């Protein structure tokens, strides 16, 4: 296999359709982000056909207390592969070797997360010195039962109460609604430790195609009450799955309108209407035990929990050895 690395969106070839986390859409979104730099690794076979691709994000973060400037690489999932590719783990290994080639003294660590099947490349990651940490996924199956039937009795009552009070929800399609919905998300996430919201320009790129038309791979939903936006959410779409990335609501200002619940319900009900097989809460991943209240909130939608792993490899060998003794 021959692997090419692309760093500019205008250089990207036509890619195999698959996970939105490894799409050209996410590449362009991270390309415009101030602290991120995307790398698209594309593998070609002997006939110069694409065998698969993997999106890697180089991230940068600066903290004042203590003053630290750190760099690291993030791999979100196992990548996208052609249907007839059998040795996917072997190809993933070749991608991983390319990441190590880019790894230099400036970078603190490499993280691999959001692997769908925790058994995928398990031995490969262990052999490359990665340390596994327990993680979780939360999803709802939409193909066997309608989402209303999975809601708890309390949440069904909350949604009926909100709708009877005049609350409406829809996809944001006009510029003013999109900007107001994104601003609401920004105000909400600025104080949250569980998830970092990308900057507004990145989110705008995520919601639009290159020709500035609305993308079908990412949608912004808004919740309105008396013409005021009181909740919003962003959902990303794969072939058969909708992924809730961000959501918020002005629950303290409008407690009887349940804006936070309605923001998630807007994305969930839309995914069901579109015929997606699964709906996943991306925010449930990488959560510390202190966020148990948030996890229980998501379970009210009928979500199921499934264990998975996150993998880390640090540049300091002594640290890898210590962590391996603790977690392996």
CB distance 259 to 230 below 8 Å: yes
CB distance 140 to 147 below 8 Å: yes
CA torsion angle 80 75 4 40 (round to 10): 80
Strands 68-76 and 50-63: antiparallel
**Per-residue pLDDT at 243:** 92
**Per-residue pLDDT at 64:** 63
**Per-residue pLDDT at 287:** 62
Percentages (nearest 5) of helix, strand, coil residues in the chain: 35, 30, 30
pTM, full prediction:
0.86
Sketch out the chain's domains with CATH numbers: 2-128 (3.40.630), 139-307 (3.40.630.30)
**Per-residue pLDDT at 119:** 84
Mean pLDDT by 10 residues, the chain (328 residues): 91 90 88 85 92 92 67 90 90 92 83 85 90 87 88 94 96 95 92 74 86 91 96 92 92 93 96 93 70 79 85 90 84
CB distance 235 to 283 below 8 Å: no
> What tokens appear for 28 in the block?
């362009």
């Amino acid at each position: 296999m021959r692997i090419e690395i692309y760093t500019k969106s205008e250089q990207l070839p036509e890619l195999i359709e698959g996970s939105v986390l490894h799409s050209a859409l996410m590449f362009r979104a991270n390309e415009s982000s101030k602290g991120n730099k995307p790398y698209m690794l594309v593998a070609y076979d002997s006939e110069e056909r694409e065998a698969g691709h993997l999106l890697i994000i180089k991230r940068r973060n600066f903290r004042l207390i203590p003053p630290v400037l750190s760099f690291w690489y993030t791999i979100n999932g196992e990548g996208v592969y052609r249907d007839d590719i059998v040795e996917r783990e072997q190809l993933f290994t070749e991608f991983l070797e390319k990441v190590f080639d880019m790894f230099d003294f400036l970078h603190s660590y490499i993280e691999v997360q959001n692997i769908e099947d925790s058994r995928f490349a398990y031995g490969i990651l262990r052999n490359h010195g990665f340390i596994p940490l327990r993680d979780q996924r939360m999803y709802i199956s939409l193909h066997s039962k309608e989402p209303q039937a999975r809601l708890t009795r309390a949440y069904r009552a909350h949604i009926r109460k909100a709708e009877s009070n005049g609350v409406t929800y829809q996809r944001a399609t006009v510029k003013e609604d999109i900007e107001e919905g994104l601003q609401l998300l920004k105000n909400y996430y600025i104080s949250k430790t569980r998830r970092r919201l990308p900057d507004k320009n990145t989110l705008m790129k995520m919601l639009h195609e290159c020709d500035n038309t609305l993308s079908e791979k990412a949608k912004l939903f808004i919740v309105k009450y008396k013409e005021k936006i009181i909740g919003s959410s962003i959902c990303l779409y794969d072939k058969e799955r909708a992924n809730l990335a961000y959501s918020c609501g002005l629950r303290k200002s409008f407690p009887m309108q349940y804006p936070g619940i309605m923001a998630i319900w807007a994305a969930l009900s839309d995914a069901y209407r579109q015929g997606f097989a699964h709906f996943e809460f991306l925010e449930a991943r990488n959560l510390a035990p202190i966020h148990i209240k948030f996890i229980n909130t998501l379970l009210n939608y009928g979500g199921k929990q499934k264990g998975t792993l996150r993998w880390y490899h640090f540049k300091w060998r002594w640290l890898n050895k210590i962590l391996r003794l603790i977690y392996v």
